[in-house]
A and B are shown apart, each in its own frame.
Chain A
Amino acid sequence: MKSNSRLLSAPYTVWMTIFIVVPMLLVGYFAFTDKAGSFTLENILSVGQYSNVFLRSIWLGAVATVISLGLGYPFAYIIAKMNAKRQNVMIMLVMLPMWMNFLLRTYAWMTLLEDNGLINSALAAIGLPRVHMINTAGAVVLGMVYNYIPYMILPLYSVLTKMDQSVIEAAQDLGANGRQVFLKVVVPLSMPGIISGVTMVFVPAVSTFIISKMLGGGGNLLIGDLIDMQFLGSAYNPNLGSAVSLVLMVIILICMGIMNQFDDGEVNEKGGMLL
């Protein structure tokens, strides 16, 4: 099987070359050329004008990631402690909303957060002042957390539930109390889950354009919106759009590089099996 099987992946290699490698090269090409097709650095340089957009995206994405981790870790921990049957039900319930189109889920928050939406109507009904929520940065973060928290919970749950119970017992046996066991053993051992959770939330959060459009109004332009505008929007300029995309990719690569620093080689080997 081994000898001639390598040829089997040839169609795949060709496919991925055409639809992944070439398009990426095109992004590079467009980023460094002008409309006439001659080399220029102007696109890349003008990305600098949008540094506030980049900072906002990274900031909101980071806040959403931290909140997701903060909310998701205890939740995953609680689930992992349940008996097997209930665990399956709980995980099903976490995944179920993900199977619903995320535009619809985000739209649902619009109806809740609007100035005369359900939450405000409810507040008014009990005599409290209305709160302006839609079209704020907070609403965008909320939308990010809502949409991406399952991607945080699932990998965390997966490491926590697979964690070797005897290692935890060994720590207790050696004199660690509940808190020490958690900090010195459980958290370090769940690092691969934390890293994949953080990546899986941060990457889509930082590059989203729907959530900011639907919940953030016009005032919370993110990188995704910027790219969208250059390709399908009013500001049509694929060269600038490609440059922004390239910078976005670089930022994400850097972030992931930093994340992987937290993960030392050995745990990584174990974490690799998670995929």
Chain B
Amino acid sequence: MKKIGGRIYTFLIFLFLYAPILVLIVFSFNDTDTGSRVVWGGFSLRWYRKLFEDRLILEALRNTLVIAVVSAVVSTVLGTVAAIGINGMKRLPRRIMMSITNFPMVNPEIVTGVSLMLLFVSAVRLFGGRSLGMGSLFAAHITFCLPYVILSVLPKLRQMDPNLYEAAQDLGCPPLKAFFKVVLPEIMPGIVTGMIMAFTLSIDDFVISYFTSGTTQTLPIYIYSMTRKRISPEINALSTVMFGAVMVLLIIVNVRNGREQDGPKRQDL
């Protein structure tokens, strides 16, 4: 009895989470001239064709991917190095660094967004240069990705046996080599997690990009402008494609993880 209740409850929650997505997907195949989101007019792929002919969308997609790759790589390198530094710090400076790191995570996104906008606008006003665009987007994305990288690398450093690095040196390994041979493999899972998080956060970000992009379009910004102006089933097609891509990615990652071992449960927040 209790079990059945639990199942029904679980089902209802998942229905709540997935129903809108399903509706989007179904109507992306809708054959309609009016662009109705309610009346079913038969199956068609016309909105997909339209989507892939849309030069603006493709450009926005390209921008999004470039920004995501650059900010993931930069924030991973910078963040990993910083995490090692923070790990070696004494209590007080470490606490200060951690507060600065935690700050953008608890601060409302919109406030981070407008503060960065103020920075970039003021910088342009003071030093000249081009107005907001790719440059400011890179800077903003790296900034909000960094804490996530640090917070996924730091625990791995803490867990690491501090004698490992010393043992490597004791056995005749020079310090830098000891780092790459011993420390890096130990913290690799944290680095990878951090990088994946940075990448997905960057792809998905709307609020901060919105305030720092100027006229440059990223995919979320483009989607926003679509929902504001003309509402076309093209957007449904886009959702379906993105959802499909995420599904495939997750399945690949999961199958790979499952094969590696049952492993410790990742904390994907």
Evaluate contact between B239 and A104: CB separation under 8 angstroms. yes
Residues of B near A6 (CB, < 8 A) are 85, 88-89, 93
List CB contacts (< 8 Å) of A99-121 with chain B. Answer: 99-105, 107-112, 114, 116-118, 121
Residues of A near B122 (CB, < 8 A) are 26
- Chain B nearest CB from A85 CB (Å) reads 9
B73 on the interface (CB 8 Å rule)? no
Residues of B near A274 (CB, < 8 A) are 267
Residues of A near B20 (CB, < 8 A) are 105, 108-109, 111-112, 146
Residues of B near A12 (CB, < 8 A) are 78-79, 81-82, 85, 146, 150
Name the prevailing secondary structure of the A interface residues.
helix
List CB contacts (< 8 Å) of A57-111 with chain B. Answer: 71, 74-75, 78-79, 84, 88, 90, 92-97, 99-105, 107-111
- Chain A nearest CB from B137 CB (Å) reads 12
Among B93, B111, B119, contact of A245 (Cβ-Cβ < 8 Å): B111
Residues of B near A13 (CB, < 8 A) are 82, 97, 100
Residues of B near A224 (CB, < 8 A) are 110
A43 on the interface (CB 8 Å rule)? no
Evaluate contact between A103 and B108: CB separation under 8 angstroms. no
Q: For the complex, what is the distance from the CA of A223 to the CA of B110, rounded to whole Å?
A: 10
What class of interface size applies to chain B in its complex with A?
35 or more
What class of interface size applies to chain A in its complex with B?
35 or more
- Chain A nearest CB from B20 CB (Å) reads 3
Interface hub of A9, A18, A275 (most chain B Cβ within 10 A): A9
A-side interface residues toward B, CB under 8 Å? 1-3, 5-13, 15-16, 18-24, 26-27, 30, 71, 74-75, 78-79, 84, 88, 90, 92-97, 99-105, 107-112, 114, 116-118, 121, 146, 149-151, 154-155, 158, 161, 199, 203-204, 206-210, 214, 224, 227-228, 231-232, 238, 241-242, 245, 248-249, 252, 256, 274-275
Give 12 A-B pairs besides A103-B227, A146-B17 with Cβ atoms closer than 8 angstroms: A16-B100, A19-B116, A26-B118, A78-B9, A112-B23, A154-B268, A155-B269, A209-B207, A227-B114, A231-B114, A232-B210, A275-B151
